Structure 1
């Protein structure tokens, strides 16, 4: 008996003195972590490579961009390509149009989609389910189908080549209404009931109670709307024929039709300049952007 107790004590002391890293499974865990980090690093490099390539080729010549095999390093850096953008495009005018259209669309969708989502989620009115089904049916129709009637409406209002004409069709979206409805359905009913017991009407409940709690949903909707509006190409290209009244996306697209052989460094430099405001906005609001995208992914 004493010998078995002594052997167990010796075994326990040897196990306690064993290094942590030598425990069974610790090596496999380290290998898995190393493999995971290696895959993530490779994936990150693959995602960053097109952006780095765009920066390098925007500082090259057209011959270097179109050379075969491709030029990895342009040698002499041609920063004048960025100055040529302002010579070929009314860049500042188009930047202002892009900012104005994006702000109008984003504010419009945050206001209208949140109000519509709250009404479908919290209010009782005739044919509520039928109307909501019709709103969802809009998601099944390609947006190109609406181009002709939208153009006729904007033309009738005299809004061609105006910021209002470009922004008007994007101030409301069926997807934004659906997303905000789902978010309001997830909020507790007790908060609205307590506000109504205090004498608040539906608008007061929406504005003072529910809307402040909907900040994650509003952030996600704002991110989606800003990106969609900033990158919108087809509708502005149809409704705006004056280059000074175009947003940046269709303005840059017109550069390809000005020459028989496109000036690729000029196009890449213009794309980088157009990308800069959104990139700066992302860097300033990185945490809110990530939280909003994570929320929209979970929902």
Structure 2
């Protein structure tokens, strides 16, 4: 019995290991490509880049590892740094705006009674489910009237009023016991004090979860900048990679790694909260 259990355990571990390696292979692919020289990349990817016949071949480790692509990107590419800081500015401003707007809105939906509350929340859910392509024309017309086309504010403002973080945080605020709120009211606390000293601390997991999800979304924003930004110097980092030529494969791999790192760090730091947010978003009204 013990041997059969060990064999089953070994098979399960091996199977999960293979799945884990398969999931991590794209990241290993990027890391390996970023450490390859131009000659080796041309030799490996020649058929895909249109410069040679045959089939693409790849290695898990480069034959002649080099950091030349990182030097070229981080030192000799000022355009990269402009787009990098644009991404930081856009993502930071959007998340800060969602904190100021979304947190009070979520608390209001969760703990206050007002006319047409359910209907309004249903509108929120419907707006959340609509893809950007459906709202693109109306957003463009509104931003054009406000003279916000080709400005960072034209990207920030619509995202600040996104309904998704409100939906995530609403689930956590709703779980705050009403008895605790009533006790605070009996002790003389006002609505603002209850929200600030009870709501925010007890719903902090939901707030962090919404911010992590928001960072992962807005750090990789592509459609909105492509639609509303015409000046290249205003583009975020997510638009730097698609504009790299096929003959700059090393820079492409290196840029992918650099873009991936902040998202990976934020994901690892907020992984527990992210899982709670996904579970909360899956619960139906």
Give me the TM-score of the superposition, normalised by structure 2.
Answer: 0.85
For the structure 1 residues 57 and 204, does the alpha-carbon distance in structure 2 shift closer, same or farther, using more than 3 Å as the test? same
Q: Aligned partners of 1:149 and 1:264: how far apart in 2? A: 38
Q: Which residue of the other structure, out of 9, 19, 23, is the alignment partner of 1:47?
A: 23
Deviation track 1:96-142 (CA, whole Å, cap 9, x = no partner) reads 11111111111222332221121111101111111111111113322
User: For residues 59-98 of structure 1, what are the structure 2 equivalents within 5 Å?
Assistant: 59-61=36-38, 62-67=41-46, 68-72=55-59, 73-85=61-73, 87=76, 90-98=79-87
1:184 equivalent in structure 2: 173
Give the TM-score, by structure 1 length: 0.81
Question: What is the deviation of 1:212?
Answer: 0.6
Match of 1:294 among 270, 275, 282: 275
Q: Which residue pairs with 1:29 in the alignment?
A: 5
Which residue of the partner structure matches residue 11 of structure 1? Answer: none
**Range that drifts further, 67-76 or 130-139:** 67-76
Does the aligned pair in 1 maintain the 2:44–2:56 contact within 8 Å? no
Pairing of 1:224-243 with structure 2 (within 5 A) = 224-243=213-232
Give, in whole Å, the separation in 2 of the partners of 1:206 and 1:104.
23
1:75 Cα deviation from its structure 2 partner: 2.3
> Structure 1 residues 244 and 182, CA, compared in 2 at 3 Å: closer, same or farther?
same
Q: How many residues align?
A: 267
Counterpart of 1:146?
135
Q: Which runs of 5+ in 2 are unaligned?
A: 47-54, 281-285
- The equivalent position to 1:276 in structure 2, one of 261, 264, 273, is 261
Q: Is the 8 A contact 1:110 1:221 kept in 2?
A: no
The structure with more radius of gyration: 1
Question: Counterpart of 2:32?
Answer: 56
Q: Are the equivalent residues in 2 in contact too, given 1:64–1:74 (CA < 8 A)?
A: no
Is the counterpart of residue 265 in structure 1 residue 265 in structure 2?
no
Matching of residue 198 in structure 1 with residue 187 in structure 2: yes
- How far apart, in 2, do the equivalents of 1:281 and 1:250 lie? 20
Pair 1:212 & 2:204 matched: no
Q: Is the 8 A contact 2:37 2:68 kept in 1?
A: no
Give the counterpart of 2:240 among 251, 270, 278. Answer: 251
> What is the aligned partner in structure 1 of residue 210 from structure 2?
221
Pairwise CA RMSD: 2.1
Quote the residue 2:283 is aligned against: none
Give, in whole Å, the separation in 1 of the partners of 2:112 and 2:265.
40
Pairing 1:164-183 to 2, within 5 Å after superposition: 164-183=153-172
Aligned partners of 1:180 and 1:217 also within 8 Å? yes
Gaps of 5+ in 1: 1-24
Q: Does the CA contact (< 8 Å) of 1:65 and 1:71 recur in 2?
A: yes
User: How many Å separate the matches in 1 of 2:62 and 2:7?
Assistant: 40
Aligned-pair CA distance for 1:223: 0.9
Q: Confirm or deny: 8 A CA contact 2:212 2:266 kept in the other structure.
A: no
